[in-house]
Amino acid sequence: MTAPYFQQALEFIASNELNALPIGKTAINGDNLWVNIFDTELKLVKRGKF
């Protein structure tokens, strides 16, 4: 048996095109479960501050 929110998250992932979701917070189950989509530009490792 899985936790109810975990099962809801898996169902959401399986039934939605994640690349088509808008940037920002999308509620799956009110304030209990959501997905947060963001867009960023990645840097090459050699240009990062490591």
Residues 7-50 have pLDDT tens digits of 999 999 999 999 999 999 999 999 999 999 999 988 888 877 76
pTM of the model: 0.71
CA–CA dist 7, 29 (Å, integer): 12
Q: Enter the DSSP assignment of 48.
A: S
Q: Which structural domain range is residue 26 located in?
A: 4-47
Closest among 45, 5, 46 to 27, alpha carbons compared: 5
Query: What radius of gyration do the chain's Cα atoms show?
Result: 15
Domain count, the chain: 1
Q: 């840097």: which residue's tokens?
A: 43
> Encoding tokens for residue 12?
């959401």
